Amino acid sequence: AAPIALVAGMSRTSKNGIIVKTGTTIEKLAQAQSAAFDKTGTLTRGRLEVDTIHAETPWNQEQLLLLAASAEQHSGHILARSLVSYLGPDVLQPVTNLKEVTAQGVEGQVVGKMIRVGKLKYVTDQPIKSLSRTAVYVSINDQFAGWITFLDQLRPETPATLTELKQLGLQRLVMLTGDQSQIAHEIGNTLPLDEIHGNLLPADKIQILRSVKTDYNPIIMVGDGVNDAPSLTAADVGIAMGEHGATAASQSADVVILKDDLSKVAAAVAIGQDTMRITK
Ligand code: ADP
Ligand code: MG
């Protein structure tokens, strides 16, 4: 398309709070045949409410929450941010020797104790049964100490946005998540999705993206977190969502949505298609 038209398209998206970094992205948005979405924080709400807390003896719920949130205070992961905002930043204890493992969890020293927070397998080798809920597990000094579950609720705009993308001509809509498969299906089955994949590591997400792209090219990837950066890069159009998307994932993205509003993804595709129609 004529560069001037693409610039016009970019100006229209930016008026909608959608930052498109290059003109060729407008063309890719217009041509997109498929879109893949991260679940937590993308199809579901940008902040999760803490639901239940279970502490093993000798710990209590308050101690578990404080130690976990303190260990998580520097993490950009959505579960970490949800924990910190639930407790409030003022009560947190300092964390040292901090280590974060992408898509697994964090470990660090808090009030002289070694804390791990994250996936069950990352936190402990003990034979603990995993919950069928979105959760983080906690260990203290290498002993399993409990778990915290979250309410992972669909964004109100998610069903209509996916329906609109289908109406705009996208053939294949896919959920990709690091969360457990059972949870992925529980949430995804209510949506007009063609594929639902759970239990994924960042590298698995890229592999699935490439295989969907083989038949449905070009592909859009929508994500919110720093752990989504590799898949945003691997897609033809990487879209970073939300307030923290704007910091965590935006460098790897071709499109940054400034508002925490998934419907902007469909708006971006619609504007892309309009722009290309006008230039023909
Ligand atoms: P998603 O694809 O749904 O965004 P991620 O790949 O980011 O999921 O993470 C997968 C799982 O790893 C999370 O559900 C969580 O259990 C765990 N996890 C990753 N990072 C953290 C962290 N900083 N704190 C706690 N748990 C984490
Ligand atoms: Mg995520």
Q: What is the CATH number of the domain that holds 141?
A: 3.40.1110.10
Spell out which residues line ligand 1, taking CB within 6 angstroms.
Answer: 38-40, 72, 75, 77, 79-80, 100, 103-106, 117-119, 136, 177-179, 225, 227
Residue 14 has a pLDDT of: 86
Q: Kindly report each contact of residues 258-264 with a partner whose C-beta sits within 8 Å and lies 24 or more positions away, as own/partner.
A: 258/17, 258/18, 258/19, 259/17, 260/46, 261/17, 261/157, 262/42, 262/43, 262/155, 262/157, 262/158, 262/161, 262/222, 263/157, 263/160, 263/161, 263/164, 264/16, 264/17, 264/18
Q: What CATH number is given to the structural domain containing 266?
A: 3.40.50.1000
Question: Which among 42, 136, 201, 232 is the best mutation to test ligand 1's pocket, defined by most ligand atoms within 8 Å of the CB?
Answer: 136
The reply to whether 165 and 273 lie within a common domain is yes
Residue 243 has a pLDDT of: 63
The reply to whether 193 and 146 lie within a common domain is no
In the sheet that holds 195-197, the strands lie side by side as 18-20, 255-257, 237-240, 219-223, 34-38, 172-176, 195-197
Among 120, 151, 182, the domain-final residue is: 151
Look at ligand 1, atom 9, and give the residue with the nearest C-alpha.
103
The reply to whether 58 and 162 lie within a common domain is no
The structure's pTM equals 0.91
The reply to whether 259 and 166 lie within a common domain is yes
Among 112, 129, 151, the domain-final residue is: 151
The reply to whether 38 and 160 lie within a common domain is yes
How many other C-beta atoms lie within 10 A of the C-beta of residue 207? 14
Residue 247 has a pLDDT of: 59
The reply to whether 144 and 217 lie within a common domain is no
The reply to whether 147 and 174 lie within a common domain is no
Taking the C-alpha atoms of residue 239 and residue 245, their distance in angstroms, rounded to an integer, is 9
Q: What is the mean pLDDT of each run of 10 residues along the chain (280 residues)?
A: 80 88 93 96 91 97 97 93 92 97 95 97 94 95 97 96 98 95 95 97 95 98 85 95 63 89 96 85
The reply to whether 143 and 251 lie within a common domain is no
Residue 241 has a pLDDT of: 85
The reply to whether 274 and 159 lie within a common domain is yes
Supply the range of the domain harboring residue 90: 49-151
Ligand sitting nearest the alpha carbon of 102: 1
Q: Into how many domains does the chain fold?
A: 2
DSSP string, 19-83: EE--HHHHHHHHH--EEEEEIIIIIB-SSPEEEEEEE-TT--HHHHHHHHHHHTTT--SHHHHHH
ipTM surpassing 0.85, yes or no?
yes
The reply to whether 62 and 145 lie within a common domain is yes
Ligand sitting nearest the alpha carbon of 76: 1
Nearest Cα residue to 23 out of 265, 262, 280, 271:
271
What 3-state class would DSSP assign to 224? Answer: coil
Among 151, 177, 195, the domain-final residue is: 151
The reply to whether 223 and 270 lie within a common domain is yes
Residue 244 has a pLDDT of: 56
Taking the C-alpha atoms of residue 36 and residue 188, their distance in angstroms, rounded to an integer, is 12
Residue 1 has a pLDDT of: 62
The reply to whether 130 and 98 lie within a common domain is yes
What does the longest C-alpha to C-alpha distance in the chain come to?
A: 70
